[in-house]
Chains A and B, each alone.
Chain A
Amino acid sequence: MLYNLLMRTKQLALTSLIVLTSGALAGCFSLPALAIEYGGIGGRPANPKSDNPRTQSIFVHEGTPGTVIEDGIVVINNSPTPKTLFVYATDIATEADGEFSCEQLLDTRNDVGTWVEMEKSEVTLASKTSETVNFKINIPATASVGENNGCIAVQEKKESAEGSGVTISTRTALRLVVTVPGDIKREVKIAGYKITLNDNDNYFLHPSVTNTGNVSIDTDIQVSTRYWFGLLAAKHGGEFPVLRGQTSEWNFELIRPFWGGLFFSTFKAGYDPSLEASVGKNTGDLTYVRGPIRLLFVMPHPIALVVELLVLLLLLWGIYRFIQLRKRNQWMQSTWVEYKVKPGDDLMELADKYDVDWKLMAKRNKLKPPYNLKKVATIYIPSDKTPTETASSVSFGMWLKSIFNKKKVQPAQSTKTIVSKYISVVSEPGDKLKDVADYAGITVAQLAKINNIKNSRTYKLRAGTELKIPNPDN
């Protein structure tokens, strides 16, 4: 009995495994549900022209007054539910910024909107279906030469909602261009350029142009913003249609540069002036008109400001040091005179006698350690005994402190009125501490203490070592 139970359990498990595996494998090979993720409602031109790709998106026609042009719009419902849609023609309205918009269903038509006769004003479409609605464009006898614009719109029919604040309905509109041939003029002029601050603490660049012609012009707007030294910081732009007689202005957002600075911003507008050009057709030769240059000073981010101030201070200190060094060199070149070295002359003593830093004297005379004058015939020494500043004695910190304390920093220098306690001597090859101590008239222990030498017995004095000894003049 137990054996039968085990066998049945085994069979059941095997069956389940086979069923589940088959189902999983089959699921991998079953047809996936192919669906458009989003469609919405709208329309497309029903009869695009093969020689003008623009007619895939909008309606472009040409005709003389009195002509009747036939066309159609494919009204589309790609939403998941059936829709009743209004289909209507309307005028173009020009807004305050020069851009145009399509007037509303309930607005009175006075212009191109009156030229169009729709086959029907409403269509009801099932989900994922479309229908072509034909229309006629009756160009009136009084139509002006040049371009005339209107719109064909598709809008969902909705009951007006009440008591719920701002209620929103949506529509899609396609521009309708009807050109009456004749004396066509194509020209774009610069109208202005301004820069404003927006709510995000960034900048809006507002180039504007005026179409002084009688047809719309697709204008290539190129805005460039450069650092004060010429490097390109940002580029904005695009191609936009500007209707006849209109001034259009755009908004391009310039993100605030982190480091701030001074910028030059300008723009140029390119258009095809050829009379062979039209909506959707260009000859490729663009003419550019240039806008004004605007200066823009941007405050840096606080962190950037701190870094920039530090760099500026370092730069200023570098300039100060350079000037000091230059002054010193000029002084040495112009005032130092030749001195014939006498036996027994010592660099330290001479430097002290003429009130200059012994290192400066060594540098001027290109002396190297141990700065021995025995083999030197002549050296240069200052012709006057007026002490002068040495640039190396003014550190960055001292200079910085002088700026904030408004006190002139006095470099460390010896003057005739100040007698230093110690003077420096430089050891020669073979010198020992005892030799230096004897020279100074002190003990080795005293010499070690003055120079912070811990163990004078084992200390090995090397040639060229600078040691301090008591100033015999103090």
Chain B
Amino acid sequence: MKNVSKAHSFRLPTKILLGWMAALTISTASIVLASSTSNFTHSVNAGTLAVDIVDGSYVTVGSPSVAMSATTFGFTCQTSTGTFGTASQKIYVSNPDAADNGWRVDLAASATTAAWDSAGTDFDFNDDSGSGCTDGADTDSLGGQMTVNPSGATLAVGQCSTCVVTNVSKGDSESYVEGSNDAIDLLTGAANSDDTGDWTLVTVAVSQKVPAEQPVAADYDINMVLSITAL
């Protein structure tokens, strides 16, 4: 009969000891103790004033775009609309103390001579003739005009928990006119806005006049540049 009354002395089994040492080694592998003193180094890259299009997690959107509403071929001038800045493609401004006297965000075409292009059939974005529907005396023979209206957009603080939107103002509704209004302001941060801060802007209304009898095509596109300028 086994003597169960025998007292068992507590000795840490070998297997447990080995397991403990292994766990400690694995979990502390990120700390390399080369000597009796340890030097932790870390570098902070210089921040830069920047504007970008990001998703809801503030990850850069690889190919940001704005979808415009489709129009049907017609014999009269039509208006196509779209929204610049959505929950999945937010306009994002970041100022990590890089522009201390203010900044401005504007939207312009890649060139003043740019146009909505589709395999040889184009229409303009910055011709104000005929309320934006006909060709005027600009450098091309295309009609059409784009209007951008940030006044009804929603401005909010980004990831910065202590920042405010005070002294950051939205632009007014404007239309592109070649040579006189080639860039439209979306946001302006005054000199007394937060020197370190980030902001998002969504729901900027975009509308485009499509001239009468514009040929049918499914791939009209135009390249725009979103700029932020340190003032």
- Chain A interface residues toward B at CB < 8 A: 3, 11, 14-15, 18-20, 22-23, 25-27, 29-31, 34, 36-44, 53-54, 56-58, 74, 76, 78-79, 93, 95-97, 99, 101-107, 128-130, 151, 153, 155, 160-175, 196, 198-200, 204, 206, 218, 237-241, 250-253, 280
Contacts and interface: CB of A to CB of B under 8 A. Distances in A.
Given A15-B15, A238-B167, A163 B31 contact: no
Contacts of B52: 38, 40, 170
Given A30-B31, A74-B46, A218 B218 contact: no
A70 B221 CA distance: 40
A38 B198 contact: yes
Given A18-B19, A104-B112, A167 B221 contact: yes
B226 interface: yes
Given A26-B27, A161-B63, 8 more contacts: A22-B20, A40-B50, A76-B48, A99-B185, A165-B66, A168-B225, A199-B152, A251-B151
Central interface residue in B48, B60, B99, B220, by most chain A CB within 10 Å: B48
16 contacts: A15-B13, A15-B16, A18-B23, A36-B45, A40-B60, A42-B50, A57-B98, A57-B230, A99-B185, A130-B45, A161-B223, A166-B84, A168-B65, A169-B224, A169-B226, A240-B102
B45 A238 contact: no
Contact of A107 (B46, B102, B112, B167): B112
Nearest to A221: B190
Interface of B: 2, 4, 13, 15-16, 19-20, 22-24, 26-28, 30-31, 40, 42, 44-54, 58, 60, 63-68, 82, 84, 92, 94, 98-102, 104, 106, 108-113, 118, 149, 151-152, 159, 167, 169-174, 177, 180-185, 188, 190-193, 198, 205-206, 218-231
Nearest to A58: B230
B221 A161 contact: yes
B151 A199 contact: yes
B182 A95 contact: yes
Contact of B20 (A18, A106, A163): A18
A42 B48 contact: yes
A165 B230 contact: no
A73 to B, nearest CB: 10
A15 B221 contact: no
A93 B99 CA distance: 20
Contacts of A107: 111-112
Nearest to A220: B191
A54 to B, nearest CB: 6
Contacts of A25: 27
Given A105-B110, A163-B218, A175-B230, A78 B48 contact: yes
Contacts of A26: 23-24, 26-28
A278 to B, nearest CB: 13
Contact of B159 (A37, A58, A218): A37
Nearest to B118: A163
Contacts of A99: 104, 185, 188
Nearest to B225: A169
Contacts, number: 286
A11 B106 contact: no
A39 B45 contact: yes
Contacts of A30: 27-28, 30-31
Contacts of A199: 149, 151-152, 173, 205
A95 B30 contact: no
Contact of A44 (B46, B112, B170): B46
B223 A101 contact: no
A53 B52 CA distance: 26
A161 B28 CA distance: 48
A250 B188 CA distance: 9
A38 B159 contact: yes
B54 to A, nearest CB: 8
Given A30-B27, A165-B82, A38 B94 contact: yes
A37 B230 contact: no
Contacts of A40: 48, 50-52, 60, 94
Nearest to B226: A170
Contacts of B58: 37-38
B42 A241 contact: no
B48 A56 contact: no
B225 A42 contact: no
A102 B113 CA distance: 16
A101 B45 contact: no
A51 to B, nearest CB: 15
B203 to A, nearest CB: 10
Nearest to A56: B100
Nearest to A76: B48
B64 A167 contact: yes
A356 to B, nearest CB: 66
A266 B66 CA distance: 38
Contacts of B60: 40, 79
